[in-house]
């Protein structure tokens, strides 16, 4: 059996110029499918707050939620590097970060954590990495700060772009093994990718990143309506699911499902015995 991808493998992929695919997964069966498809890195992203739990933002998620979904993913995963998001406010202080990291790593069994933020969280990244926790950074559009920064393209101006470069360097310096760059100009993402020795994983950050990450529901077309610009629907699974369920409901309604193929039977003598004395027996 193939062994599990490690953070060293991911760094090697960058040094060898191999692009790194990553996708979110939130449960057992999606982890199985992602790995069968050959994806080496899975993110148990807090986007699950929206696409699985139906919240409007990622903010309501708790450490317990991330642990539960990480456990499901880990049961389906044998070869991917599984990175788990630390949720909003669960790493507000170094002590909070250590407590949350311990729980997600020990109870959720993920192999690495992702934290949003730059220079200001560098001491936390250093502390966690020194304690043996691989950390992936996350810069640009950071959904946990959406009420402060919005959900638009980030770092378009010189000062903001310079800050993002400094943030990325601070994360690398603090020991992060990779950094997600979300919804920033492609030129800036390419520049950061050249500057860093650790891999950049882009989402809405152009083709110059070392890898790409996409949300499960986006790549598979599970939702109706317009997808965000950074998403590409590689399939329309949502439509296929709806068609299948419509057919199922119709066949049940018409008495066409289940058929003999889905049925088990009693031996005739047992049926006769059971029917004895029943008023509605045939």
228 in Cβ contact with 205 (< 8 Å): no
Nearer to ligand KIV, 52 or 257 (CB): 52
Name which of 71 and 257 has its Cβ closer to ligand KIV.
71
Q: Nearest distance from residue 59's CB to ligand KIV, in Å?
A: 12
Q: Which of 56, 182, 251, 275 is catalytic?
A: 182
- The token pair that represents 191 in the structure block: 């520049």
Q: CA-CA distance, 22 to 182, in Å (whole number)?
A: 13
Give bridge partners of residue 122 from the DSSP assignment: none
Q: Applying CB under 6 A, which of residues 26, 27, 42, 47 lies at the interface with ligand KIV?
A: 47
Nearer to ligand KIV by Cβ, of 51 and 257: the residue is 51
Minimum CB distance to ligand KIV smaller for 153 or for 257: 153
Residue 182 known to be catalytic: yes
Residue 27 is a binding residue for ligand KIV (CB under 6 A): no
3-state helix, strand, coil in the chain (%, to 5): 45, 15, 40
Partner residues linked to 115 by β-bridges: 137
Please give the structure tokens belonging to residue 55. Answer: 């919240």
User: Which of 45, 137, 199, 202 is close enough to bind ligand KIV by CB under 6 A?
Assistant: 45
Task: Work out whether 24 is an interface residue with ligand KIV (CB under 6 A).
Answer: yes
DSSP symbol at 168:
H
Own/partner long-range contacts of 90-93 (Cβ < 8 Å, ≥24 apart): 90/62, 90/63, 91/115, 91/121, 91/124
- Interacting residues with ligand KIV between 4 and 23 (CB under 6 A): none
Stretch binding ligand KIV (CB under 6 A), from 45-53, 102-110, 187-195, 269-277 = 45-53
Among 25, 213, 220, 222, binds ligand KIV (CB under 6 A): 213
The rounded distance, in Å, linking the Cα atoms of 1 and 4 is 9
Q: How far apart are CA 107 and CA 71, in angstroms?
A: 8
Query: Which residues in the 185-204 window bind ligand KIV by CB under 6 A?
Result: 203
Nearest-approach distance from CB 156 to ligand KIV, in angstroms: 19
Binding residues (CB under 6 A) for ligand KIV: these are 24, 43, 45-47, 85, 180, 182, 203, 213, 215
């Amino acid at each position: 059996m193939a062994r599990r991808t490690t953070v060293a493998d991911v760094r090697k992929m960058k040094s060898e110029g191999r692009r790194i695919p990553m996708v979110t997964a939130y449960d057992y069966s999606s982890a199985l499918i992602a790995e069968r498809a050959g994806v080496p890195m899975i993110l148990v992203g807090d986007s699950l707050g929206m696409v699985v739990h139906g919240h409007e933002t990622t903010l309501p998620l708790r450490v317990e939620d991330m642990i539960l979904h990480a456990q499901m993913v880990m049961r389906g995963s044998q070869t991917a590097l599984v990175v788990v998001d630390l949720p909003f406010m669960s790493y507000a202080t170094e002590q909070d970060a250590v407590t949350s990291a311990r729980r997600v790593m020990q109870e959720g069994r993920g192999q690495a954590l992702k934290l949003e933020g730059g220079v200001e969280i560098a001491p936390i990244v250093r502390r966690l990495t020194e304690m043996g926790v691989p950390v992936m950074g996350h810069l640009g559009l950071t959904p946990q700060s959406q009420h402060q920064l919005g959900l638009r393209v980030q770092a378009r101006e010189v000062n903001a772009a310079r800050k993002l470069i400094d943030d990325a360097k601070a994360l690398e310096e603090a020991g992060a093994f990779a950094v997600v760059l979300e919804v920033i100009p492609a030129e800036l993402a390419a520049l950061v990718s050249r500057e860093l020795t650790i891999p950049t994983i882009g989402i809405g950050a152009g083709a110059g990143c070392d890898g790409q990450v996409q949300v499960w529901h986006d790549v598979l077309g599970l939702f109706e309506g317009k997808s965000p610009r950074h998403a590409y629907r590689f399939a329309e699974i949502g439509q296929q699911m709806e068609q299948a369920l419509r057919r199922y409901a119709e066949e049940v309604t018409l008495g066409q499902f289940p058929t003999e193929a889905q049925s088990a039977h009693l031996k005739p003598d047992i049926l006769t015995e059971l029917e004895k004395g029943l008023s509605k027996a045939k």
